[in-house]
Amino acid sequence: MERVSDIRCAVGESPTWSAAESAFYWTDIPAKRVWRLDLSSGATRFWTLDEMAGCVATRAGGGLIAGMETGVFNLDLGDGPAAVARKLATPAVGLGEGMRFNDGRCDRQGRFVAGTMFMDMSANRQVGKLFSYDTARGISAPLVEGLLTQNGTAFSADGRTMYLSDSHPLRRLVWAFDYDIADGVPSNQRVFADLTKEVGRPDGAAVDADGCYWVAGNDGGCLLRFTPDGKLDRRLEVPMKKPSMCSFGGKDLDTMIVTSIPSGKPEDAEWGGAVLLLRPGVKGLAETPFVG
């Protein structure tokens, strides 16, 4: 395991690999920053944002697409200290006062799929929704509703299974859906993994080349790997108490990056909020950039 510089995020989230740049990107949500790591040189830098970005994904041709406080944005990253943000869409419902986008990524067809949450988790408001965005059709009506803390969005290799978690302490579930790759609509929601029976809350996730679902066990200090039939087959301990999301990258997609959130506990003082690189012994799947 290797720590990425001395970076300490307030809420590190949404790591994603840019194969075109050989670089990882991720967001520090409350700090309103997007970070970049050049994997070959180890160089890091960040861009500031005008509002919080819960999730980012790469765009074909460069730059990022992001789910933020007021909608979905294009982010152009230049030589200056700030990203140039251009709003693409705002959901008709789902981004009221106290809301923002949280977790998201592109499906295998290059649509941006992301969800919203009420930021004060203690309020226990089931108002989170999942949306899809592409340039041809704009932003969708809600695809999934009634979420407390939307998280864990990921897709199988063939794109026909969508995974989604709710990481709120009152829920702690991962669902699987049938996913129509033609119209980008999920159906047949069923419980895939019940983390009330495991350690940690199911935060951000990734799918590996074996079709297994890796999810960050927030509050549990671990990453959990579930087989396609929902069986837990591996638990990987990490030094931070609150890992928030994992993602595969590197030339051979055999490097995993893990972001985290400080827990505030003394035993987490060194690693809380750190960004970690590790080799889990399996390869990931290439992320599809946003093609709109």
Q: What is the mean pLDDT of residues 221-245?
A: 98
Q: What is the mean pLDDT of residues 20-33?
A: 98
List pLDDT tens digits, range 33-49.
999 999 999 999 999 99
Q: In the chain, what are the domains?
A: 2-278 (2.120.10.30)
First to last CA, the chain: 36
d(CA 234, CA 198): 12
d(CA 3, CA 264): 19
List pLDDT tens digits, range 63-93.
999 999 999 999 999 999 999 999 999 999 8
pLDDT band, residue 154 (cuts 50/70/90) = very high
> What backbone phi and psi angles, to 5 degrees, belong to 266?
-55, -40
Which are the catalytic amino acids? 203
Q: What is the pLDDT of residue 128?
A: 97
Q: What whole-number percentage of the chain has pLDDT above 70? A: 100
pTM summary value? 0.97
Tokens coding 241 = 């108490």
pLDDT band, residue 94 (cuts 50/70/90) = confident
